Amino acid sequence: MRTIEGNLLHGGRRFALVASRFNDFVTRRLVEGCADMLRRHGVDEDHLTLAWVPGSFELPVAARRLAASGEYAAVICLGTVIRGETSHYDLVCREAASGVAAVSRDTGVPCIFGVVTTDTLEQAIHRAGSKSGNKGADAALAALEMADLLPRLGGKG
Ligand code: INI
């Protein structure tokens, strides 16, 4: 069986991060975890771009622009949605998730969903660099792997 896998190699590629300001106390830690993981895998500082949007609902539209630019091997979307703070939690989560997935499918550029969705602020903090790891760092690994995998699959996005 021929097996195709992506390695965690930067390959000189450029990566874009899109982060939402809502709950930025948490999201900034996701951004730091993500950028740190990319740098530790050899990604050049010059090859990292960070764009801020107001909330997670706005992640897809910015991700689409970045993905369509053709400059980036992957776009990493980072945000924090906390149920306790919004009655439209489900809407924001659903639109962010389906929007990011649609950008990925439509452009062929891997768009990584690094949005923490929790019931409480405490749970969100745990996923942003304390008890439960850092979802931004996990998103960076997914981006490296997908960016390396896609060219190996052949064809076009
Ligand atoms: N955006 C978030 O990223 N996280 C949240 O928890 C959140 N809450 O609680 O409402 C949130 N709302 C803002 C939303 O993403 C949009 O920015 C806003 O609706 C304007 O379109």
pLDDT confidence of residue 18 = 98
Query: What is the 102 CA–ligand 1 centroid distance (Å)?
Result: 19
In this predicted model, what pLDDT tens digit does every residue of 8-61 receive, in sequence order? 999 999 999 999 999 999 999 999 999 999 999 999 999 999 999 999 999 999
Atom of ligand 1 nearest to the CA of 27: 3
* Statement: residue 157 has pLDDT above 70: no
pLDDT confidence of residue 105 = 97
In this predicted model, what pLDDT tens digit does every residue of 77-110 receive, in sequence order? 999 999 976 678 889 999 999 999 999 999 999 9
Say whether 88 is catalytic.
Answer: yes
pLDDT confidence of residue 131 = 81
pLDDT confidence of residue 85 = 61
What is the pLDDT averaged over residues 109-127? 96
* Statement: residue 156 has pLDDT above 90: no
Domain boundaries, the chain: 15-150
Catalytic residue among 10, 41, 47, 88: 88
Range 15-150: architecture per CATH: 3-Layer(aba) Sandwich (3.40)
Query: What is the 92 CA–ligand 1 centroid distance (Å)?
Result: 6
Instruction: Output the DSSP codes for the chain.
Output: -------S--TT--EEEEEESTTHHHHHHHHHHHHHHHHHTT--GGGEEEEEESSGGGHHHHHHHHHHTT--SEEEEEEEEEGGG-TTHHHHHHHHHHHHHHHHHHH-S-EEEEEEEESSHHHHHHTEEETTEEHHHHHHHHHHHHHHHHHHH-S--
